[in-house]
Amino acid sequence: MRLVQDLYKLNPNFIIITGDGRRELHILRGLTKVYNGNDLILYFPFSVLPKKTGKSALDSIKTLANDYGFNSIIYIVDGDAFDEPADIEIQDYLNRIGIRIDNVNLIQSALIINCRLGNNHIRLYCIISGPRTFIEEEIANLINLKWGIEVDLTGSRDRDWKIRVKNEVIRILREKNIKIESLIESTGKTKLELAFPNICAILKKIEEDNQM
């Protein structure tokens, strides 16, 4: 797999939308080098799509499908974007913006939703990061699996908690003098699938489906 931010003359197989930030970009860049089946191209248009957070990032589906013809879309969002189970809230939101759902398949806590917007058939891969709160939880798990260093994840999971966990993750990576992409590339699939269960489940499924 290849993750790109600029299309040039490339014709991407998948486009990525996110309700959060650049951290997912770096993690995906590392993971796509591990899941490299058939040289699939994943397009992360970080600077092109209007910035929206949480569930509202799903609004981009209309533009991507109607204006650009993308029908294979990967949606990444932090777990704390939801008050109710993510699968229920995502389906409710899609219905509200006029997207009809044909069926839903659950892999880990990730979702594969086959849906329609007018005459466009869309396959939507939904990755819930954390999956409870945010992606730094999963990076903390990887740090523990790789080096046996435990990041304290106890607490009320409010804004201060998120800042503390994020800063601790950054501190450890700096002390180890390694970027998250390099850490991922140097880690075996077994540990990566334990640390990033939802992202890896979707990438693995995509890889399997495109090797048939």
For residue 119, being part of any structural domain is answered with: yes
For residue 80, being part of any structural domain is answered with: yes
CA distances to 92, 142, 185, 195, 202 from 138, in Å: 27, 6, 15, 5, 15
- Cis upstream peptide for 85 (omega within 30°): no
pLDDT attached to residue 12: 87
For residue 88, being part of any structural domain is answered with: yes
For residue 175, being part of any structural domain is answered with: no
For residue 75, being part of any structural domain is answered with: yes
Instruction: Answer with the residue of higher pLDDT: 101 or 49.
Output: 101
pTM: 0.91
For residue 72, being part of any structural domain is answered with: yes
Query: What tokens appear for 132 in the block?
Result: 């409870």
Which residues form the domain of 101? 2-134+189-209
What average pLDDT does the segment 189-204 reach?
A: 94
For residue 129, being part of any structural domain is answered with: yes
Number of domains in the chain: 1
For residue 23, being part of any structural domain is answered with: yes
Contact 97, 80 (CB under 8 A): no
Secondary structure, 3-state, 146-175: HHCCCCCCCCCCCHHHHHHHHHHHHHHHHH
Q: What does the pLDDT look like over 120-167, one tens digit per residue?
A: 999 999 999 998 999 999 999 999 999 999 999 999 999 999 999 999
Query: What tokens appear for 93 in the block?
Result: 């939101």
Instruction: Answer with the residue of higher pLDDT: 9 or 62.
Output: 62
